[in-house]
Amino acid sequence: MQSIPSLDSAKTGSGTLGRLVCSAIARFRDRQAMSDGHTEWTYRDLGEAIGRFISALRNRGLAKGDGIAVLSTNRVEAFALLCAANLLGVRYTPLHPLAAAAEHAFILEDSGAALLIVDTGFAERVGSLRQSLPGLEIAALGAVPGCPDILTELAGLAPAPLVDHADSEAIAYLAYTGGTTGRSKGVMLSHRSLVTMASIIAAEWEWPRLPRYAVVTPITHSGGINIYPVLHLGGYVRLMQGFKAANFCHVVEKERLNCTFLVPTLIGALLDDAGSRAAFDLSSLELIIYGAAPISPDRLREAIDTFGPIFLQHYGQTECPQCACTLRRADHDLSRIERLGSCGVPVPTMELKLFDEHMQEVEVGRPGEICVRGPLMMSGYWKQPDATAAVFAGGWLHTGDVAIRDSDGYIYIVDRTKDMIISGGFNIYPREVEDAIMSHPDVAQAAVIGVPDPKWGEAVKAFVVPRPGRTLNPAALMQHVKDKRGGPWTPKSVELVMEVPLTSLGKVDRKALRARYWQGESRSVS
C-alpha cells in the first residue's frame, strides 16, 4: 500500500472542511474509518482515495471556485469525492436520490455545476438529464453506458498531496432546500459554517468514547454532514443503503455500532417492528440522535421505554445546519414528561430569540418566530439576493418556525408559520393537534392540515395511520383530542389512511395533503 499523501501544513489554511478531514487522517491513520458493506477503508485508505479524486477532478480542468454535483447512494467513494472537492475549493451540490428528474435538472442548471458524477444505480437518469442539459459533462462511479468510469481512472492515478486550497468563507456545500413550498433554493454553506457545525456537534452531542456511527439516511443530507464530527473524533462510519428495520438491527449487532441518526418516522418503524428488535442484540447502542421533523412526546416516551435513556435531539435547518439547539440525553427525563416536547436549549455559540411580527422579543410562554444569528449561519441563497435579504431581515436569520420558551430556557416548537391553521379566528398549529392524536395508544402516525370551510374559514382535518392490528373510531379519536386540547383543536374530520405522504427528508408532506383541497383557492397566513 502506498503511503498516505502528506498534508502540506505550510499551505493549508484553517477553518475549512478539508483541514478538518486531513487532521483526522493524520491522527488516526490505521484506524477503521468507514465502510458501505462492500468497501472498507482505514483513515489512510480514505486519504489515498481523496488524493486520487483530487487528481481526477484536476484532469477534468476543475479548480477553485468551480462546482460539481453528485447523484449517488450511500457509498464511501461519494464521501471521498466530497472531501476532494473540499480541498480543491470546489463547491459541492448533492442531488437527493429520491428527487424527480425535473428537480435534478433544475438544480444542475441553477447551481452551475461543471460536472455531474452519478453512480451505477442512477444509470437510467442519465438519458433524461442529457436531454434537459445537453452541454453537461457526466462521469460515473462505475459502469454506466455513455459515461466515463471515474473509478477505473482512479486506479491509474497517483494520489495528489492533500493540500487545502479553500477559503473559510468560500462555499463548500450548495445544498438545495426540499422545495415543499415552491422551487428549491440553493443554500450557500461556507467552510466557516460547516466547520462551526462540526465543532459544535463534536463538543455538544454526547457521543460514545469512540463513535461507531450508523448512517441510514442519505449522505446528501443530515446523515452525511454528521460524518465530519465523527471523523474528527476518530470514529468509524458505517454507510447503509436505505432503512429496513431488520437489516439495521442485523448490522448494529454484527458490527457493534453504538450511535446513529434517525428521523422520527424511522424510530417509529423500529418501535413497530418488535420482531426485528427481539431477533438481534442492540445493546451496543449508546446514542440515538433524532431530528429533522417533530416527534410526539408519547412516541418518544415509548422509544425511551424501549431503548433506554440514549436519545439526543438536535434542532436546526439547512440555513442553520443541524445544531442551533440540543436536547441532551439527561433532558429526556420521564419524570418531567413535558420536557420531551422541547427541542432543547440554544448551543453556546449561537444567539436565539423568539420575535413577534414586529421583531419584538416575546415573553416567556408566548409564541414567536425562532430567529438566530452567529457563525453557524449560511451565507445566503444562491443567486437570490431578495430572498436572502428577506430571510435576514433585521440582522437575524428568520427560520419560519414558531416556538415558545419556558422559564428554564427550553424551546418548544409549535409549528411552521406557513402551516398555521386559522379556524374561527383561532390560530391553530398542526403540531399541537398531532401530539394530542399521537397520545392515543392505537395511533402510529398522524398529520393535520387546514381545509376550506364555509363556516370556520379553515377546518382542522387529520390523517391518521392506525397501529398494526389496531382499530380506530374517528369519532372517538376526535373526542380524545377534545379531552386533551379542547374544542378549537379538535379535528372536524378524521381520515384513516395506510400511510402519510412524506417528503424526501422524512417530514410530513403537508403540501401534498393540501393539494386536493386548495386547488383554485388562495391560502395565506398573516
- Please, which residues bridge with residue 401 across strands? 416
pLDDT, tens only, 501-518: 887 666 788 888 988 886
DSSP output for 394-447: GGSEEEEEEEEE-TTS-EEEEEEGGG-EEETTEEE-HHHHHHHHHTSTTEEEEE
C-alpha grid cell, residue 127: 438519458
The tally of domains found in the chain comes to 2
Region 394-420: what's the mean pLDDT? Answer: 88
| Residue 306 placed within a domain | no
Residue 363: helix, strand or coil by DSSP? coil
Distances in Å between the Cα of 432 and the Cα atoms of 102, 435, 460, 509, 510 are 35, 5, 11, 17, 15
**Spatial CB neighbours of 17, under 8 Å, sequence gap ≥ 6:** 83, 86, 166, 172, 191, 194, 195, 198, 228
| Residue 92 placed within a domain | yes
**Which residue is it, cell 469525492?**
81
CATH number at residue 425: 3.30.300.30
**Residue 131 pLDDT greater than 50, yes or no:** yes
Looking at the chain, the whole-number percentage of residues with pLDDT higher than 90 is: 69
CA nearest to 492, candidates 414, 417, 420, 423: 423
| Residue 370 placed within a domain | no
Looking at the chain, the whole-number percentage of residues with pLDDT higher than 70 is: 91
pLDDT band at 419 (very low <50, low <70, confident <90, very high): confident
Region 123-137: what's the mean pLDDT? Answer: 92
Domain span including residue 487: 420-515
Query: SS3 breakdown of the chain: % helix, strand, coil, rounded to 5?
Result: 35, 25, 40
pLDDT band at 218 (very low <50, low <70, confident <90, very high): confident
| Residue 85 placed within a domain | yes
DSSP output for 8-33: -TTTPPSSSHHHHHHHHHHHSTTSEE
pLDDT at 525: 36
Instruction: Say if residue 518 is exposed, middle or buried (CB neighbours under 10 Å; 0-12, 13-18, 19+).
Output: middle
Q: Which of 157, 191, 225 is a domain's end point?
A: 191
| Residue 415 placed within a domain | no
| Residue 138 placed within a domain | yes
pLDDT, tens only, 18-37: 999 999 999 999 999 999 99
Q: Which of 166, 191, 216 is a domain's end point?
A: 191
Range scoring the smallest mean pLDDT among 181-185, 199-203, 483-487? 181-185
| Residue 223 placed within a domain | no
Q: Which of 191, 224, 255 is a domain's end point?
A: 191
pLDDT at 13: 41
CATH number at residue 97: 3.40.50.12780
**Residue 431 pLDDT greater than 90, yes or no:** no
Region 56-81: what's the mean pLDDT? Answer: 95
**Measured distance CA(48)–CA(51) in Å, rounded:** 5
pLDDT at 196: 95
pLDDT at 2: 37
**Residue 236 pLDDT greater than 70, yes or no:** yes
Region 165-176: what's the mean pLDDT? Answer: 95
Q: Which residue has the higher pLDDT, 274 or 295?
A: 274
Region 383-403: what's the mean pLDDT? Answer: 94
pLDDT band at 294 (very low <50, low <70, confident <90, very high): low
pLDDT at 299: 85
Q: Which residue has the higher pLDDT, 457 or 211?
A: 211
Instruction: Say if residue 502 is exposed, middle or buried (CB neighbours under 10 Å; 0-12, 13-18, 19+).
Output: middle
CA nearest to 434, candidates 367, 485, 506: 485
Radius of gyration of the chain (CA): 23
pLDDT band at 164 (very low <50, low <70, confident <90, very high): very high
Distances in Å between the Cα of 347 and the Cα atoms of 130, 132, 336, 395, 500 are 45, 44, 21, 19, 33
